[in-house]
Copies of this chain bind each other. A is one copy, B any other.
Amino acid sequence: MKKFLKAILPAGFKANGISCGLKKSGKLDLALIYSQFPALVSAKFTTSSIMAAPLIVNQKHLKSAKRFQAVLANSGNANCFTGKSGIKDAQSSAGYLARELKIAKNSVLINSTGIIGKRLDVAKIKRGIRKLVLGLSSSGIHRAKMAIMTTDTFAKEVSLSLKIGAKLVHICGIAKGAGMIAPNMATMLCFILTDAAITQAALDKATGAAVDKSFNCISVDGCMSTNDTALVLANAAAGNRVISGGADLASFSQALASICLDLAKMVVTDAEGATKFIQIDVTQAKHPQEAKSVALSIANSVLFKAAVFGQNPNFGRIAAAVGASGYKIKEEKLKIRLGSLKGKRVKLTVSLSRGKAKCTVYTCDLTPEYIKINAAYN
């Protein structure tokens, strides 16, 4: 397995990113990823009961089609809490792109991120689509990764290659953060592209496991988003023997998990206003759910996060967060080890002395800067 901290498109994929005018700043705000070959898709969406319009449209497409060729994404507007008009807007954007690419409408997946509650300017998107399609290229992923950014300060990207049998298979992922990051998932868009040949069942299994240990284990502010989406497209262009289980699936799953974890950590590193990256290891839990709940209870404690910002080793707040997790954890069994708070990376280990399960969660400190960013964002 060879890894690169750069997006490198696998065989059969092209991409592009342009500015269509949704962002007042004039920055890139419309991205397209296109697969020459119809690709299988495994998708994970927010668990919020209020889902943004594009997610509702995607769910329909995922039910009616088996393979997909295009991922359209805009930043600057989340097209959420926009009612029936929002759904119509998402559908008509997808339809317009499909005609331009001469593919079926339901082979387009559509994504939005940005402000919630304002109607999307579809005219701008439509005007941008032709340019977007004309400029598709195998290096265009670098413009695409910029076009999905909102308050992100750097683009999140990673690629790797691994051998399946005699063939090299490639996986490439891009993602955007950077606030409203909570389990499960985040205002997070993540697109992962692979040229692997794989069965739908194997792809779903690998995706589920990878997302569970990465995007579902990060929290910036405890706020679950309405737009969270992770899409994994597999177009089989590598011509490898089809991955369906066994050692091949194990290798592919490990590679996909590593891509997801890298991207998830980048999202936390780039969290709004954060000055520190915090890794929380909960060990010796009774069962995995307990480990995860305790870890997230700490990760979402505003008081703990403020203490880390202040480089203030406040064990009491960690204990309080453990106690608030809902599990009957005994104080006298609790072991808390907190690394130095001086540097940019902080490690906390909490042992519960109740069993063998464990979980690692990633979060960041909470800073006055975060409040300032989110007081002004609109």
Contacts and interface: CB of A to CB of B under 8 A. Distances in A.
A78 B320 CA distance: 12
A316 B371 contact: no
A122 interface: no
Contact of A309 (B222, B302, B371): B371
A83 B366 CA distance: 29
Contacts of A300: 222
Interface in A114-162: 115-118
Given A83-B332, A302-B221, A51 B309 contact: no
A78 to B, nearest CB: 7
Interface string A292-317: 00000000111100110110101111
Contact of A78 (B51, B223, B316, B325): B316
A224 interface: yes
B179 A303 contact: yes
Given A81-B316, A312-B376, 13 more contacts: A48-B324, A83-B332, A117-B315, A180-B303, A180-B320, A222-B302, A226-B323, A302-B302, A306-B370, A307-B378, A368-B369, A368-B371, A371-B371
6 closest residue pairs by CB, A with B: A116-B316, A310-B375, A50-B323, A368-B368, A117-B316, A48-B323
26 contacts: A49-B329, A50-B319, A50-B320, A80-B319, A80-B320, A81-B319, A117-B316, A117-B319, A118-B316, A180-B320, A182-B324, A221-B302, A222-B222, A223-B302, A223-B303, A224-B324, A225-B320, A302-B366, A303-B374, A306-B371, A307-B377, A310-B374, A310-B376, A314-B378, A366-B371, A368-B369
Interface of A: 48-51, 78, 80-81, 83-84, 115-118, 179-180, 182, 221-226, 300-303, 306-307, 309-310, 312, 314-317, 319-332, 334, 366-372, 374-378
